[in-house]
A and B are shown apart, each in its own frame.
Chain A
Amino acid sequence: MTFRTRLLLIFSLTVVIAVVFVGAIVSTTTRRAFERLDEQRVAALTAQFRQEFLRRQREIARQVKDIAQADTTRDMVIGLTRPDAGASAYYEAAQPVATAHNLDFLELVSGNGSIVSSAQWPARFDYHEDWVTRRQDWDTQEPFLKREELPSDTALALVAVRMAQVADSKLYVIGGQALDREFLSTFVLPAGMRALLYREPQSVIDASGPVPQTAALAPLINEIRQRRTDLTRTVNWSGDAAGAETFHGIPLIGPDNELMGAFLVGSSRREQVGLERFLRRVEILVAAGGILLAVLVTFWTTARITRPVEALAAGARAVAGGDWHAQVDVRSGDEIGALAAAFNQMTGELLEQRDRLVQAERVAAWRELARRLAHELKNPLFPLQITVENLQRARATHPEQFDEVFRESTATLLAELGILRGIIGRFSDFAKMPPPRLETVDLNGLVRDSLKLFEAQMQAAGVELGLELAPDLRAIQADPSQLGRAVQNLVLNAIDAMPSGGRLTVRTIAKESGVRLEVADTGQGLTQEECDRLFTPYYTTKTHGTGLGLAIVQSVVSDHGGKIAVRSEPGKGATFTIDLH
């Protein structure tokens, strides 16, 4: 990961975390503020409901009591006792009385429980309301909730019962008001709130009429039905959270402890969710802006920091690639600038040191070459000098034997000159190594052909040959002459390394990327230093030889795009490995 990417990630992450953290705090604070506000408003509304309920209870009790104590009612009680009149005379009596006393429901029930007149359902005359005759203490009873049957509906009513009595004759006055739309319309509702009235078994109304599709309220109502206590629950009308409402339900309990309905205060969460969504959008915008700013800052910062670093890296790569003249153009005065100056100074010094090293190596090479030449040439020169001195001495002391000596000496001179020519030829060959002419070559065949040349030599030296050629070795592109000479040099080198005999192992291995040739001996082995210098021209560990054999091998392998390596330990022989593609 680049410095620029890392910096960008750090900046972006910092901004996002900061925004999310602040957003979470704001959202939580906002939500709590809304919830507190909702609680206050719901509390105010429920208090309003209880106050209105109590007020209506008192009002209804007063109105029904007035009716029961009215003279007309007393006349009715008396009239009901007359055999010629009966209840039929008062069939329509309830309706005008109910209207006059602002009651939605009014039933006049005779002492035996038979309805004399019903304002809400006139046709129910002569039916019985037996429940009203079961107790006689109605005048002390508070108004209560009652499910009132109507011709086509069932209403929830707050009713009071009072008795009108003349002598032994009684008349029950059952009056009340409906808990309906008009009741709900008395509440002052803040924006976003509404008051619903649930009436058993499944009717829900608001101030404008029946509320459609109230299935979502069913769990709340069921819970109220079971627990008979105030409950607050959130109702999701749809999948959209903005459409959800928080409902506070107050159970409406009848005189026999049965649930008659529930007063539901709904508080819309639309405003809260809307604000939360707005805050979230703001968070996203701020985060996006922050990320954009982070990108810009990152680019600016990296332009200030990483560009010199990248220039330094490019310079280092150039140096690594061999461009020792690479320089970094950084002019800043900060640490990066100092680093760049140090880099430039370093490359300059490296260049000078390399030149000095090259010069030294060149001198050393020349010295080595001179030493090798001196060494190589010294051996033939000494016989040449001796032979010539023998010729001079024979001419001077034994003229009669001069011819014979001359003949022998000239033969020796020619032989030594031949050696000198051979030495010079090998140096000439190494200097004139031609580029390889590639053709398809079977390495196994090439190895076998090369080893045949050394059979007699190996036999003489007591060297045992171990040949492990891979049967599925693929053909390679190579110059057979140069590669053959390389193999021969390695084999010869191995035989030379085992003057007292040993085991020569030649192995070919098929690899995915090409082929491998290994030549291993069981000679005395090499030190690490010897291994490091082994392929240096004119370097040899042997007492004879030009030191060009392995140099030629490395040159051939390198020209074929391959690699050569050696692994050895003193006393454990050496293994040369050539990898070719």
Chain B
Amino acid sequence: MRVEMRAAPAALDANTPEASPLAALVFEPLLRLDETGTPQPCLAVSWQHEGTGKRWQFNLRPGVKLHDGTQMTPGDVASALQAALPGLAATANGEAVIIRAERGLSSLLLDLAHTRLVSTGPFRVSAFEPGRRVTLAANQDYWDGRPFLDGIDVQLGRPLRDQLVDLELGKTDFAEIAPADLRRASEHGRAVWSSSPVNLLALQFTPGRAEDPRLREALALAIDRAAMHNVLLQKQGEATAALLPQWLSGYAFAFPAAQDLGRARALAGSLPPAARTLTLTYDPAVRAARSLAERVAVNARDAGLAVQVSSQAAQADVRLVEVRIRSLDAARAMVEVAAALALEAPPFVATTAALYEAEHQLLEGRRVIPLFHLPDLYGAGSRVRVFAPPAVTRLGYWRFDQVWLAVKPSGTAP
């Protein structure tokens, strides 16, 4: 199967974020989280812990082979754990791995579910040109059965527009799609797969700039998320004023995201004229970033703010950023998002009410203005089939072990 992607990782490590979709095909964790966030066996078939939660034992799946053909041993897993999670003490014990820690390890299972350890996945790397191309081959000895695909040819660093063209021309079987191209991809009969809305698009004020809270609030209230969602994002994902998506937190709707132009004008009018100017920058790699930034500028103009949009401004007042949700656990996701947005680290809380309160406090100063939660969108070629969907997980990881290609007999018209 031919695959194209925008990211161009220079290395193919197990836990490099940029290479995570590919790494999920090659490396595997001890356990996985299912659609509900419940840990499910992967390399470990069972686990138990002592009452204090400071000693865990993970019983490894027998007969698992590494991509080099050797048998996976508890020592391999313990070494990989030590490297990926330095705060832990992992040792081999027979067919099991023992993990000890001084503190309580209440979130250990989440950590382990997000930490890919060894190369035992359904595909192995047969060739890698850093930043350009990865060739994966089916792991004949995969413990869950050989994948349907013989191999995957991944072209790295392909712009979204080129991916769409290649998809339409049949030059690729699997490509990323921008929200604006969703209709175009659909119109040509392509299957569109998506993750849950795991990408937070938000405006992040640069520390030390735009210090007047009225200015930040005026901008937040001026934004017409609905129009952007309908047109620029083709109704994909969801408009939001919360950090965590509704599907993850359950309370995102409680953060008002509607435009309040009157209030925004009043706030902007209370500012001195010189303080009504902002510079907005964006990462061109972020999907629809330029269109969204320019629309924010138009909305701000209606409120009486002058927002200058540039992709080059090094000292911008505010940035349009994209932060990816990488955990199915809301509390953990909150901590990760807050860290990515340079917000004060929230407490690791267990209840939804406490989580809401923590998020409310994070957003109180309007240093970050959440805009949308967007899913990963992929277009699949006409010959791509999935035996057991989904091929893309809620967090956007690829599951190509259940994908196969419907190859027409030779001599048949395509």
Contact = CB atoms under 8 A, between A and B. Distances in A.
A88 B235 CA distance: 9
A217 to B, nearest CB: 27
A152 to B, nearest CB: 7
A126 B297 contact: no
B230 interface: yes
Contacts of A123: 291, 294-295, 297-298
A331 to B, nearest CB: 98
Given A122-B291, A123-B291, A152-B308, A88 B230 contact: yes
Interface in B227-243: 227, 230-232, 234-235
Nearest to B227: A126
B203 to A, nearest CB: 15
Interface string B171-189: 0000000001001000000
Contacts of B308: 152
Nearest to B232: A91
Main DSSP-derived SS at the B contact region: helix
Contact of B298 (A87, A91, A124): A124
B201 interface: no
A150 to B, nearest CB: 11
B309 interface: yes
Contact of B231 (A121, A126, A151): A126
B280 to A, nearest CB: 11
Nearest to B294: A123
Contacts of A151: 294, 297-298, 309
A126 B309 CA distance: 20
Nearest to A86: B230
Interface in B286-334: 291, 294-295, 297-298, 308-309
Contacts of B294: 121-123, 151
Nearest to B301: A151
B149 to A, nearest CB: 35
A92 interface: yes
B234 A88 contact: yes
A300 interface: no
A554 B340 CA distance: 134
A89 interface: yes
Interface in A79-94: 86-89, 91-92
B119 to A, nearest CB: 43
B166 to A, nearest CB: 20
A228 B310 CA distance: 39
Contacts of B297: 123, 151
Given A123-B291, A151-B309, A152-B308, A88 B231 contact: yes
B164 to A, nearest CB: 13
Nearest to A123: B294
Nearest to B180: A92
A172 interface: no
Contacts of A121: 294, 298
Interface in A115-170: 121-127, 151-152
A122 to B, nearest CB: 6
A86 B234 CA distance: 11
Nearest to B230: A88
Contacts of A89: 183
B382 to A, nearest CB: 23
B201 to A, nearest CB: 15
B231 A125 contact: yes
Nearest to A149: B301
Given A88-B235, A91-B232, A151-B294, A125 B227 contact: yes
Nearest to B306: A152
Contacts of B224: 126
A91 B231 contact: yes
A91 B227 CA distance: 11
Nearest to A126: B227
A487 to B, nearest CB: 108
Interface string B151-195: 000000000000000000000000000001001000000000000
Nearest to B234: A88
A154 to B, nearest CB: 13
Contacts of B231: 87-88, 91, 125-126
Interface in B257-297: 291, 294-295, 297
Contacts of A88: 230-231, 234-235
A551 B11 CA distance: 146
A568 to B, nearest CB: 107
B356 to A, nearest CB: 32
Contacts of A87: 231
B185 to A, nearest CB: 13
Nearest to A127: B298
Nearest to B292: A123
B223 to A, nearest CB: 12
A126 B291 CA distance: 14
B384 to A, nearest CB: 25
A91 B295 CA distance: 12
Interface in B32-60: none
A124 B300 CA distance: 12
A78 B227 CA distance: 21
A122 B295 CA distance: 8
Interface in A363-407: none
Contacts of A126: 224, 227, 231
Contacts of A92: 180
A242 B350 CA distance: 82
A537 B385 CA distance: 166
A123 B320 CA distance: 15
A151 B297 CA distance: 8
Nearest to A88: B231
Contacts of B183: 89
B89 to A, nearest CB: 54
Interface in A307-353: none
A88 to B, nearest CB: 4
Interface in B202-242: 224, 227, 230-232, 234-235
B225 to A, nearest CB: 12
Contacts of A152: 308
A152 B235 CA distance: 28
B309 A91 contact: no
A87 B294 CA distance: 18
A11 B396 CA distance: 106
B48 to A, nearest CB: 53
A152 B308 CA distance: 7
Contacts of B232: 91
5 interchain residue pairs of minimum CB distance: A123-B294, A123-B295, A88-B231, A91-B231, A123-B298
23 contacts: A86-B230, A87-B231, A88-B230, A89-B183, A91-B180, A91-B231, A92-B180, A121-B294, A121-B298, A122-B291, A122-B294, A123-B291, A123-B294, A123-B295, A123-B298, A124-B298, A125-B231, A126-B224, A127-B298, A151-B294, A151-B298, A151-B309, A152-B308
Given A123-B295, A125-B231, 4 more contacts: A122-B291, A126-B231, A127-B298, A151-B297
